[in-house]
Amino acid sequence: MKLTIVGATGGVGRHLVDQAVAAGDDATAMVRDPGKLAGAPVRVVAADLATADPTTLRAAVEGADAVLSGLGPRSAADAGIATRGTRAVIEAMTTGGVRRIVVVSAAPVGTVPSPGRPHPPRRDPGDGPLMRYLLGPAIRRVLRRHYADLALMEEVLRDSGLDWTVVRPPRLTDRPLTGTYRTAYGCNVRGGLTVSRADVAHAMRHLLDRPESVGQTVGIAN
């Protein structure tokens, strides 16, 4: 499979690269700092998605079977990068004739408003009492700018006309790949509080082979 991986040096992105290489995929990694992938057996394209040249982005995605994006804000200073970067990638995909994209978002985003979805559900049907009434509201307050960015990114995807899938993990950990994670379409996983970054990457790649995931949000948890 020929893949373009966006945010390839991030927590999920690096696992996407490693798993693509292990599977024998023809992978192109789109990164801000190519030095972080020195020696990796992938094609590396240097691109700061906040200011990237459209020609560079098109060259990075053209001919790909799919795009996998681990792009997301790592700090308050990065708020907005998920939306800006995803818009740029969508434009490159549209121009280059690539349709399939799977991106990582976050479990609380289903209850976060965006301009095109100003009144989202107050609670996700997959959340238990702990997440609904205690953890969820606290997390959304602390990370409200991050989640607003991700909510807008999801809206941009919904309006893109591409074959998109959004994966919404809860708290990410650095535990090893298990391959035994749980998933739920259209809602968070019941009782799911954590998931490893390696398992998120594994799910994203395998969702490419599931046509029923197109146009869907997918909850995931260990």
Total count of domains within the chain: 1
Backbone angles phi, psi at 180, to 5 degrees: -115, 25
Q: Cα–Cα distance between 105 and 21 in angstroms, integer?
A: 23
pLDDT score recorded for residue 130: 58
Percent of the chain whose pLDDT exceeds 90: 69
What mean pLDDT do residues 102-108 have?
Answer: 96
Whether the pLDDT of residue 188 is over 90: the answer is yes
Give the pLDDT of residue 149: 93
Question: What does pTM read for this prediction?
Answer: 0.92
Indicate whether 90 pLDDT > 60: yes
Residue 105 CB-density burial (10 A; 0-12 exposed, 13-18 middle, 19+ buried) = buried
Q: What is the mean pLDDT of residues 50-57?
A: 82
Q: What is the pLDDT of residues 123-167, one digit of tens each?
A: 887 776 656 555 555 555 555 688 899 999 999 999 999 999 999
The model's pLDDT over 70-85, given as tens digits with 9 standing for 90+, comes to 997 665 556 688 999 9
Mean pLDDT of 65-69: 98
Mean pLDDT of 52-76: 87
Q: What is the pLDDT of residue 76?
A: 56
Domain residues for 55? 2-221
Which pLDDT value is given to residue 129?
61
Nearest of 73, 58, 72 to residue 28 by alpha carbon? 58
pLDDT at position 50: 73
- For residue 53, pLDDT beyond 90: no
CATH number at residue 36: 3.40.50.720
